Structures are given as C-alpha cells and as structure tokens.
A and B are shown apart, each in its own frame.
Chain A
C-alpha cells in the first residue's frame, strides 16, 4: 500500500504545509471511526457527482439522439461533439459501476457503518481501528483505479456493470483493452477493502456493545449494518474471485468463460449474480435501517414490530442467496430451474412487504414532524414500494420473458437502487449535526427534497411504460427502431426531467457546504432521539464520550412512553423512579 499512500500524502502536502503531522493523522491517516466515516462520505459524494454527470450524458443521448452535447462536446472531439455508440456503452457501464460500488456502498455502508456502529452501540471505536483505516485507503485506491480507466487508450469498460462474458472477456468484442482490465483490478481491490470492513463491523457489533446493549436493544440501523456486513463477507469474495478469473481470461489466456477453450459463458453469470443479488441487499438493507430510525424518531412513536423488523432482515439475508437465477430466466439456463427461482424470488418479496407494512404501522397513531430527514425517509418508502412491486412482475417468469432486458428492468432498479438516494439524504440530514456539529438548513433541505422527489419520479416512472412498449435497455439510439418511434416523446420528457433532477442537487450541495461552515451550532440531541450517539457531544471527540461510555437501560424506540413526561426516553437514561435510589437493578428492557 505504501506507494499509493505516499502519493496521497504528497497531494495533501501542498495544502497543509508545516502542520503536516497533526493534519495527516487527524484528517488523512486517521484511525478514528468518525473521521473514516467522513472520508467515506466525501469519497461517495465526489463519485456521486461523477456518476451523476455520466447519467446526464446518457440522458442527453437518449433524449436528443446523435446531436452534439451542449457544453461538453469537447469530450467527443472525433465525432464533433456527438456521443459515439462505443462511448455510450462506456457511459452506462461506468455510471452503474460508480453508483453501486463507489457511491451507495461507500456512503451507506462505509460512511454510516463506520460513523454509527461504535456510537450507537456505546463503543469508543471500531474493534480494529488500523484495519479500518486500511479498508478506507484500499477502497480509495480502488476508486482511483476505476477513474483511471477513462484515460487509457480504448477508454473505460463498455460491457455493462454486469460484464457478461464473452463480451467482457475478449478485447476485440468491445475494442476496450485496459479499461476492462482496470475495471477488474479496481473491483478486486474494492473487494479486499470491503472484506476488511465487513470483518471489522461484525467483530465490533458482536464484542463491543455497551453494558446493557443486548442484541434486541440494538437500533435497527445497527441490525441492518450487521447483516449487511455478513452478506459482504460472503458475497464479495465471489465477485472478487470472478473478476480475477475474468482478468486471467483476458490477460493469461485461460478460458473460464470462453467457449473456444471449453469454458462456459453462463458460469460468469452464475458467479456474478450469486454475488449480485446479495449485493442489492447490501445496498438496500442499511437504507431500510436508516428509514426505521428516522420514521420512529419523527413519528415520536416506537417502531412497529421491532422483532419482525429484525427477523425480516435476517430472512432477506438468507433468501438473498437462493434467488440469483431470476436474472437468468432467458439466459439458456434449464427452464426447470427457472421455476424454483421464481418461487424463491416471490418469497423474498414477503419480508420486504413486512417491512413496508411495519413502517406504515409506525406512522399510524404517531405525532409526525415533517423535518427534512423524515421527508427523505418517506420518499425512500414510496420509491421502495414501487420498486418492490415491480420486482414481482419480473419474478413472474412468463412475464419476464417480455420485460427482461427492457427499460422495465431499468425502472425497477432505479426505484430500488437510485431510491436509496433518499435514504442517503435522510441519513446525511439526520446525522449531520452529530457528524459536523452543525445543523443543516431546513428550508433549503425541504426545497431540495420536493424537487428531487418530483423529478425522480418524472425521470424514472415513465421507464416502466417504455419497457412495456418493448424498448430494450442499453440501446444507444431508440430512433433506430421503427417500433420505438412513437415512444420517443417520452424519452425526450424523461431526459428533461433528468436534467432538472441533476440541477436540483445544487440545493443539496449548497446546503451541505454552507451548513458545514456556517450552519447553526448543533445541540447534543437536536432531534430528541433515544439512541446512544445523541448522548455524546456534537461532534463527538476522539473516544466518543468524555466520561465513561454509556450504560443501556432499554430499547432504542421508547418514544412517548407513559413512564416519562417528555416524549422520548434515551437508552442510556436511568429510570426516573430509580435515580437517587442508587440502584439500577430493576431497570428492564422494552
């Protein structure tokens, strides 16, 4: 690792000058879980801007096919500003790869996993702080490798984020040479980084909980991150190995996936989706966890069915290993197997339904405050409902024959995966006071939410209609097809919405940076929430609590409890009847 680290230090030196040692240890090679969390956040937000820019280019091409890109024509000099088809394939491949591996994972798992786990279980840091630092920097190197792919001859990978072999395995098929190799190497490196993170999260949750923090007093977001870490531990190595096999096919002349040498293209798909389906839950479980925290806090009401919420996440984690074949219904896999994958896929929709109904149950009878984090959490619930329901259409094998590889699929995964962006905004706005010691601006936050929610739906909902009309995904120019001509106005409309969706993010960026430096100073517990992180100062110092770490007396969702006058009852607060009595022996769980 020392080379890349040296380079990173050199870059930062120019800014820091003489205060090198202190600065480096605090801001760069920090072992403090909170700093590492913030580093993951900035990595993810940076990649979000890059990935978002690629999305704008994609939508430009689909809305105004084969016309020069305004303002960015210089990126496509050889074609007078028009995006050529091979570059288009590169754009959607890298857009998805960046969004999944370098935005959602670093932010939801890397940032909030790191920031929240120790604070919410009452620990001073992660179990392995140095491993934690190594995990971040390994991930960052993975990111640099992925971005470097844009600058090599032949350009970046262009075989889709799914990299189906043989397209991805032979240079001649795409014309992409080192771009695809770097794609493999980057994901390999990222796989190692995730593995280190996963081990750390699991160990921390198992071993470092504060006194009184039983498993069933853990906040649901910690449950979600814990289960995510277990999925990461088992799923990522499958991808990590598969990309190395692919790299060997490309560079060393092996034939894992190449029929010419006796290999099997479908093996790649099996490996990829055996990783890929657990992966989608790696992406969404933390979002579900955050949503549970925020809905309960802002409804001032205990989460509905705490145990069912935890068990349904465990069920999702188990089931996610036996549904991968639903991506391969028409791949040539034995159709008999397709039937069992249909059944398991239908069944995995049940725990998702349980979660949704329990969220509704949480709102029922609450006293709901519409603060920015709450709005985003509700936004996540609504997009998740749509994405979960469209999943049932595709799980239905006969129906999937038609909609597989159409824009219907693109609609589905944007509702679930891009919908995570709402959970991400909910998390950032909710924990911003704890992370940075300042409160974000409510007005800007609300404007940002409303615009994002409207344009998100205007951009992605019509994709269902296009898919049912038969429009294939990953096509460069829909107007090349007679039967899609009639749908072009919809594409046009979606592209305009997408550009506005992109533009709406200015409100977030402005709010984020303005609040970072000039926001109102935050109290320790600005939302009057119960979980332990709010008992630490905002922002918490190294070690999190000045005195001894908190002791836990009850579950995390004791809102509006009849036992206390206020409408919240922090996990660490001794029962009022017992304070003074000098005993905590009778304090029970929830």
Chain B
C-alpha cells in the first residue's frame, strides 16, 4: 500500500487515516468496477452490421439493487465516521496546556498564558509563527483572528480549523512524536496567504520543561 498522506503524528490521526483508507478502497473498487464495465460494454456492444440493439427499458431488480446497495454502504460509512468526528471536534479532553493562536495577515500569533495560567495578564508571552508543545499530552488550542478568516492547518496532525474573526474556537490535538512540523494557513486570507506558515515544535516532556524555564526565567 502506498502512503498518500504525510506522516501522521497525532493521537487521533490513526482513526482519520483508517477512514481515509476505507473510503479509498471502497471508491477505488467502485471506480474499477464502473470503468471496467463501461469499457467492456463499449467493446462488446460496438456497432456491427446485422446486429440490432436489445430493446429494453430497464430492469427493476437491478435498479433496486444499485440503489439500495450504495445507500447502505454510504449510511454505514457515515455511522463509522461519526465517533471519530465527535472525538476530534466535539470532546476536548482535560488538559494542562492551553495555547491561544491568533491569525492575522499574514502570521500566526501564538500566545501562552505563562505561570499564572491566565490569558491577558503580564506574564503572557507571544511568539510569531512558533508553537511549542510536549509530546503525548493533549493540548488545547483556542483560535481567534484579528482580521480575516485564516485556517490553522497541521498536516501531520490531521488538524485543520478556521480562525474566524469575532469567534473563539477551542480545539485540541495530541502529538505522538517529537519533531518540527509545519503549520500553513489553509484559507485564502489575502495576497500574503501563500507563504503564511509557522512551525510546531514537539518536545519531550523534559525538553518542554526546559523551554518553559527559558521563556519564563523568573518563576
């Protein structure tokens, strides 16, 4: 099996990817079935002298079959997808770390609440296009925007969410592997949309502690 998607480093990414491959194989099979039949018919039933086309207006059994079977497959597929969707978008697990990300033309402003755990206080620290998190811990991200709609995209974490001016949108992810991962903006936001990107640094727990100490040396 060829891997079409970038490496997955998110706790829920595996579930997304299995749904992806499920859909991939189902639609792939349908594609080859339909195209195969079409080519077969085109060859077999090409015009030849002396043969008349079959006079037929349809076949009820077949038509019911090819209505009901796709409908069932699609409804089951939907049912299978609901839990994953709910897990990613509806239930934010309890977490120690909340990060505020503000989109603005054409940067991500990443704000940490600092030792007091509250946003809007003196010890907040903001980084441009840089986000640091510990590995294997759920992280809550609150998305805001200063101007137009942006979209925070973390391809490796199977994460995408628009940042909409006037709204605070809470989301979460949990990285499962240390490293540096790109955070492009996925929603057209103006002439600087292309190239608007930041990086996510996933640290080990110790490294992350270290990083926090460096940023807030006094506490």
Contacts and interface: CB of A to CB of B under 8 A. Distances in A.
B168 to A, nearest CB: 10
A166 B46 contact: no
Contact of A360 (B23, B41, B85): B41
B58 A305 contact: yes
B182 A483 contact: yes
A470 B166 contact: no
Contacts of A476: 193-195
A367 B48 CA distance: 7
Contacts of A159: 188
Which of A308, A470, A590 has the most C-beta atoms of chain B within 10 angstroms of its own C-beta? A470
Contacts of A378: 38, 42
Given A364-B41, A396-B19, A560-B54, A339 B63 contact: no
Contacts of A364: 41, 45, 54
A282 to B, nearest CB: 24
Contact of A480 (B15, B59, B194): B194
A399 B57 contact: no
Contacts of B23: 392-393, 396, 399
Interface stretch (A48-56, A346-354, A449-457): A346-354
A441 interface: no
Interface in A246-264: 259, 263-264
A92 to B, nearest CB: 9
B34 A472 contact: no
Contacts of A160: 188
B29 to A, nearest CB: 10
B90 interface: yes
A398 B86 CA distance: 9
Category for how many chain B residues contact A: 35 or more
B137 interface: no
A390 B164 CA distance: 27
Interface in A176-225: none
Given A331-B162, A401-B159, A367 B45 contact: yes
B74 interface: yes
Contacts, number: 271
Contact of B193 (A335, A393, A468, A475): A475
Chain B binding surface SS class: mixed
B56 A339 contact: no
Nearest to B31: A389
A361 B47 contact: no
A335 B90 CA distance: 6
Interface in B65-97: 66-67, 70-71, 74-75, 77-78, 81-82, 84-86, 88-90
A173 interface: yes
B155 A308 contact: no
Interface of B: 4-6, 15-16, 19-20, 23-24, 26-27, 30-31, 34-35, 37-38, 41-42, 45-48, 51-59, 62-63, 66-67, 70-71, 74-75, 77-78, 81-82, 84-86, 88-90, 105, 147-149, 151, 153, 155, 158-162, 164-167, 169, 182, 184-195, 197
6 contacts: A173-B105, A299-B53, A301-B56, A364-B41, A368-B42, A481-B184
Given A85-B192, A265-B166, A392-B77, 10 more contacts: A85-B194, A166-B149, A167-B188, A302-B55, A305-B63, A339-B85, A361-B59, A361-B62, A365-B45, A469-B6
